[in-house]
Amino acid sequence: MFNTSNEISYHASSVLRIANVLFAAFMGYRSKYDLEIFDASKRELFKGIESTGKNKKFTLLEIGVGTGMNFGYYPNGTHLIVIDPNPHFKKYYDENRKKFSNIKSEEVIVTTGEEMNEIKPNSVNAVVISHLLCCVNDIPKVLHNIHRVLVPYRMRCT
């Protein structure tokens, strides 16, 4: 059937590529229904971000952005950095980001939460990870990277 390990590797990567394309298309279709189902709970979850982002520069990192389903919950003026390991979400992400001119969203960085070395340390005010930790290979490494990129919390007591 297969003569070399290179052939097996080639076919396995082809199957993975097809799976990524199909997953992105499915999520692009499904996301509009998810918005209806999860809207109330997401509004509650994102309430804290709304008040945090007012009256100052607010940079947010979303890991596993997918189609950009959370854009509608971010404060006006948010500077959004996004990563996703699946490059096939780009089409759906770009379509969705056009609807939200109130946030400045960057191009998708194609990487994982474990390998997000392009994100500078102490550079973001908040990190969003929704439906993600169940899908990563190394949860402690993702959490370490989140801690690395977050601006240290500062509290002024008078």
Model pLDDT for residues 12-49, shown as the tens digit of each residue: 666 667 776 666 666 666 667 666 777 777 778 778 77
CA atoms within 13 A on the CB side of 28: 17
One-letter amino acid at 89 equals F
pTM recorded for the entire structure: 0.75
Backbone angles phi, psi at 58, to 5 degrees: -125, 115
How much is the pLDDT for 155?
A: 45
**CB contact at 8 A, 149 and 114:** no
DSSP-derived 3-state class of residue 128: strand
**CB contact at 8 A, 40 and 22:** no
Q: Torsion over CA of 131, 136, 140 and 146, rounded to 10 degrees?
A: -60
How much is the pLDDT for 134?
A: 80
Q: β-strand 59-63 against 79-83: which pairing, if any?
A: parallel
Q: Torsion over CA of 35, 30, 136 and 149, rounded to 10 degrees?
A: -40
Q: For the segment 106-148, what is each residue's pLDDT rounded down to a tens digit?
A: 999 999 999 999 999 999 999 999 877 888 899 999 999 999 9
The whole-angstrom separation of Cα 47 and Cα 75 is 10
Higher pLDDT, 54 or 134: 134
Largest CA distance in the chain: 74
Q: Which domains does the chain have, with CATH numbers?
A: 5-149 (3.40.50.150)
Residue 158 has pLDDT above 50, yes or no: no
How much is the pLDDT for 99?
A: 92
